[in-house]
Amino acid sequence: MATQFQKQMSVLVMSTAAFTVCFMVWMMFAVIGIPIKQTLGLNETQFGLLAAMPVLTGSLVRLPLGMMTDKFGGRPVFFAIMIMTVIPIYLIGHATEYWQFLVAGLFVGIAGGSFSVGIAYCARWFDKKNQGFAMGVFGAGNAGAAVTKLVAPSIVVAYGWTMVPTVYAVMMLVTALAFWVFSYSDPSHKVPSSVSVGDQLKALKDPNVWKICQYYSIVFGGYVALSLWMTKYYVQEYGFDLKNAAFLAACFSLPGGVLRALGGWMSDKWGAHKVTWWVLWVSWICLFILSYPQTEFTVKTVSGPVTYNIALNAWVFTALMFVVGIAWAVGKASVFKYISDDYPKNIGVISGIVGLAGGLGGFLLPIMFGALVDLTGIRSSCFMLMYGVVWVSLIWMYWTEVRGTDVISHHKAKPVDVLE
């Protein structure tokens, strides 16, 4: 008979491993989308839509999956998600038309909904003082985006891109079976059966929830969008081949995933608000620098015209992206610390709402990135857009929290908890 501690660790380890595989699948088009783009002759907007299609489904299902987790428990819901995606993953390797890739991507995207299931499943196995760390460890499964960039290009080079979906389908099936064998259920973690769907959805009326959604649309939505976009960015902006471009893109994706546990620890120690505030400032500074396009201008001097070039080389660019990845890893954990602090009895629902907002950001942003490139011809326009979004969030946080109005209500007024 396993002890409570053994059950906690087993649930956390298996959930993190399963989420890592789900995220690998979710980000698959970041790599295989490039040869597909070349084969089908897609423009930038079409590529953005293709890469973001799984993110759309993964976003839309997060709220209902979070509600189901509260009702039925995380273990059966998580297992069902993984089993449902095995066949759609495999079929991607046999698609030949653009619409077929889009449809398959919609079904594969269900894997992305695993976040709102796993975050609530893991959090309930730990006491409040350790929930931030536990959720951070689970959230480190975001590193699946980096794993895909490290693994998938090698498969593409050796066997062709069609082998990637086959390998990932087998991996998902094996992981699902292992998860079921080594994880546990606790009936006390479910909400009472008397709680209706309407009761759960009352959280949508809470303005504090929408503010958390805005923060998460940056630290997670932006992370997903840039994870999908960076491999192609390196190929087109700096001329790297697919394998080297994916490796450098992983310098953003990897810290953006594995350091989420650090963000959980920091949030437990210093609080969600303070950590999120500094995450947004670091992001704002880095994105300002990243936004500046490669520029050539001529100045008339007394000695004649002098031409200057201003541009970020690949190494400075990668260093800045690495810093942004760290900041967003910490921010993803700090935002969810808000949830565990304020909504302990309905984490699944709130996680679903916030995850939905973050996922929709991850869906819409790549499409907007592509549209901006098609309209302006400036590849760094994606960072200009993210800079503007972060700027809006900093202003919102300043007026609602830093000035004290929301801080007072946060400490003195009890947030909406639909289960009380």
Give the range with max mean pLDDT: 250-259, 283-292, 325-334. Answer: 283-292
Question: Helix 207-219 to helix 405-412 angle, to the nearest 10 degrees?
Answer: 110
Q: What is the number of other CB atoms lying within 10 angstroms of the CB of residue 329? A: 30
- Per-residue pLDDT reduced to its tens digit, 141-183: 878 878 888 899 999 989 999 999 999 999 999 999 999 999 9
Can you give the pLDDT at residue 189?
66
Can you give the pLDDT at residue 69?
86
pLDDT of 412 above 50: no
Residue at token pair 């500074």: 285
Domains of the chain: 4-410 (1.20.1250.20)
- DSSP helix/strand/coil, 415: coil
pLDDT band at residue 192 under the 50/70/90 scheme: low
- Round the CA-based radius of gyration of the chain to a whole number and report it: 21
- Between 254 and 300, where is the model more confident? 300
Q: Which residues pair with 306 in a beta bridge?
A: 299
Give the range with max mean pLDDT: 10-19, 108-117, 190-199, 201-210. Answer: 10-19
Q: Which of 188, 215, 254 has its CA nearest to residue 4?
A: 188
Cβ partners under 8 Å of residue 105, min gap 6: 29, 50, 53, 54, 57, 92
Q: Is 7 exposed, middle or buried (CB count within 10 Å of its CB: 0-12, 13-18, 19+)? A: middle
End-to-end CA distance of the chain: 34
- Per-residue pLDDT reduced to its tens digit, 110-132: 998 898 888 888 888 888 777 77
- Per-residue pLDDT reduced to its tens digit, 4-56: 888 889 999 999 999 999 989 988 998 899 899 999 999 888 988 898 888 88
pLDDT of 418 above 60: no
**Cα 232 from Cα 34, distance rounded (Å):** 7
Q: Which of 56, 269, 28 has its CA nearest to residue 149?
A: 28
Q: Helices in 93-187 by DSSP H: which ranges? A: 98-108, 114-123, 128-139, 144-159, 163-182
User: Whole-prediction pTM value?
Assistant: 0.72
pLDDT of 404 above 70: no
